[in-house]
Chain A
Amino acid sequence: GAGVSQSPSNKVTEKGKDVELRCDPISGHTALYWYRQSLGQGLEFLIYFQGNSAPDKSGLPSDRFSAERTGGSVSTLTIQRTQQEDSAVYLCASSSGRKGGYTFGSGTRLTVV
C-alpha cells in the first residue's frame, strides 16, 4: 500500500480485557517495528521483525505483550489482561533498509478504563 496502515485508530477497553492491534506495512518492506508513545515519554521500542529472522522482543514491557507477523507482512500486537498503564498510542513502522529511516503509521490510541 501507499503507507503504513494501523487499525483500529482508537480503542477503548475495560481493564482486564485482551486487545489486538493491527499493522499493515508498506508492501515490500522487510522490517516492521512496534513502538509505544506515552505523554512525556517519547517513543518506547517494543518489538522488531526483520524478514524471516527471530524477532527482537527486548522492548516488550511484560509477558502480557506479544506480537506476531504473518507471511512477512501484516503484524498483530496483542495485549492480554490490559491495565490502565497500558493506555498509550501504539505506533507501527516499516522500512526497506536500515539507512532509509522508518515510515510510521498514524497509530492506535488505546485507552484502558
Chain B
Amino acid sequence: AQSVTQLDSQVPVFEEAPVELRCNYSSSVSVYLFWYVQYPNQGLQLLLKYLSGSTLVKGINGFEAEFNKSQTSFHLRKPSVHISDTAEYFCAVMGNQAGTALIFGKGTTLSVSS
C-alpha cells in the first residue's frame, strides 16, 4: 500500500517570492508520482507527473518537482509565484503495478499575497 504526507497544510507567501511545497511518500514498490492543483471553486487539474527517467519534471504554469528516491520525496517548486497561483495543491502516489488507484495527500493551501 502507498501513503502520502504533505508536510505543510498552509503556505503563505508574497508575490514574486519562491515557494516549495513538500511531499513525502511511502511505498513498498516503485511508484508514479503526481501533483494536482485545485483553484478556488474549480475541479482538480494535473500539474505534473513523474513516471520514470529524469528526476526533475516540469509542469504547467512554471512549476517543477524533483523526485528523490532516497528521501522518498517529491517536492513542488516555483521560483517566482503570482497571485493567480493561490490554490490548493495535492500530491498523489500510485504503485506501478496494475490494479492500484491514486492515493492523495491532504493538500497544501498556497496563499499568495501582494
- A interface vs B, CB < 8 Å? 33, 35, 40-45, 48, 50, 53, 56, 59, 91, 93, 98-99, 101-102, 104-107
B106:A42 contact, CB within 8 angstroms: yes
Q: Knowing A45-B102, A104-B43, say if A99 contacts B32 (CB, 8 Å).
A: yes
Q: Check: B98 CB closer than 8 A to any chain A CB.
A: yes
- CB contacts under 8 Å to A, within B92-106, are 92, 94, 96, 98-99, 101-106
B56 beta carbon closer than 8 Å to chain A = no
* Chain B positions 19 through 49: 1 when the CB is less than 8 Å from some CB of chain A, otherwise 0: 0000000000000101010000011111001
- Does A43 lie within 8 Å of B94, measured CB to CB? no
Q: Are the C-beta atoms of A42 and B107 separated by less than 8 Å?
A: yes
CB nearest neighbor in B for A35 = B104
A-B contact count (CB 8 A): 50
The answer to whether B43 touches A42, judged by C-beta atoms less than 8 angstroms apart, is no
> Would you mind naming 27 contact pairs between A and B with Cβ atoms under 8 Å apart?
A33-B101, A35-B104, A40-B9, A41-B106, A42-B6, A42-B90, A42-B106, A43-B104, A44-B104, A45-B101, A50-B99, A53-B99, A59-B101, A91-B43, A91-B44, A93-B44, A98-B32, A98-B94, A98-B98, A99-B32, A99-B51, A101-B46, A101-B49, A104-B43, A105-B43, A106-B42, A106-B43
Query: Nearest Cβ distance between residue A43 and chain B, in whole angstroms?
Result: 4
A107 and B42 alpha carbons, distance in the complex (Å): 9
| Complex interface: chain A residues within 8 A of B92 (CB) | 43
The docked-state distance in angstroms from the alpha carbon of A32 to that of B45 is: 16
